[in-house]
């Protein structure tokens, strides 16, 4: 399975010490150069920085489709745009992305998109994690924003 990720899923899971969920679900995650740079720019104390520099299951790959990249950069940040382009170029099975505008563009490009909440639900379904709520609460405590209605819906879907 080819999985490409934007910055948010990696940085948020790393911040709460749960990045292992991505490895257990997908074995390998590929990030574009711009996402790698965004993670590095978050500062040396960010747990995601150490992760991307040391974990061999997170691979960095450059994009080549400059025309598609340029058209996406008109409305998205560099990491989102490159993640979409890389997912298209690799014919990825899944793109991990939380930002609404990026998700809309990815869906228009024919990609299958999963956000961090979808990752948590898949992790529970595949028995990678026992419960969603403690991880979701940790994400929220670490400034991951979730609407109250969505929080309730995720827990309902998780059977919690």
The reply to whether 110 falls in a domain is yes
- Give the residues of the chain that fall short of pLDDT 50: none
The reply to whether 20 falls in a domain is yes
Q: In what side-by-side order are the strands of the sheet with 94-96?
A: 58-61, 29-32, 3-5, 94-96, 113-114
* d(C-alpha 131, C-alpha 88), whole Å: 33
The reply to whether 136 falls in a domain is no
pTM assigned to the model: 0.92
Domain carrying residue 92: 3-117
* d(C-alpha 107, C-alpha 121), whole Å: 20
pLDDT tens per residue, range 98-116: 999 999 999 999 999 999 9
Angle, to 10 degrees, between the axis of helix 7-15 and the axis of helix 116-125? 60
pLDDT of the residue at 44: 61
What's phi and psi for 27, nearest 5 deg?
65, -50
Enumerate the β-bridge partners of residue 3.
94
Rounded to 5°, the CA angle 26-29-34 comes to 155
Enumerate the β-bridge partners of residue 58.
29
pLDDT of the residue at 17: 93
* Cβ atoms 25, 128 nearer than 8 A: yes
3-state secondary structure at position 6: coil
pLDDT of the residue at 53: 81
Q: How many domains does the chain have?
A: 1
pLDDT of the residue at 51: 80
The reply to whether 143 falls in a domain is no
The reply to whether 133 falls in a domain is no
* d(C-alpha 94, C-alpha 131), whole Å: 23
Instruction: List the structure tokens of 6.
Output: 């934007």
Q: 18: domain CATH number?
A: 3.40.50.1010
């Amino acid at each position: 399975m080819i999985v490409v990720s934007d910055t948010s899923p990696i940085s948020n899971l790393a911040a709460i010490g749960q990045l292992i969920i991505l490895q257990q679900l997908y074995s390998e995650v590929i990030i574009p150069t711009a996402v790698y740079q965004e993670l590095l720019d978050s500062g040396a104390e960010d747990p995601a920085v150490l992760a991307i520099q040391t974990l061999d299951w997170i691979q960095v790959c450059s994009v080549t489709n400059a025309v598609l990249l340029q058209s996406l950069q008109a409305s998205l940040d560099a990491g989102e745009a490159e993640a979409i382009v890389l997912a298209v170029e690799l014919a990825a099975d899944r793109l991990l992305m939380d930002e609404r505008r990026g998700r809309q563009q990815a869906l228009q490009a024919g990609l299958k998109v999963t956000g961090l909440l979808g990752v948590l639900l898949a992790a529970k379904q595949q028995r990678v994690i026992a419960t969603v709520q403690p991880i979701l609460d940790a994400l929220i405590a670490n400034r991951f924003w979730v609407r109250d209605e969505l929080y309730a819906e995720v827990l309902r879907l998780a059977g919690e």
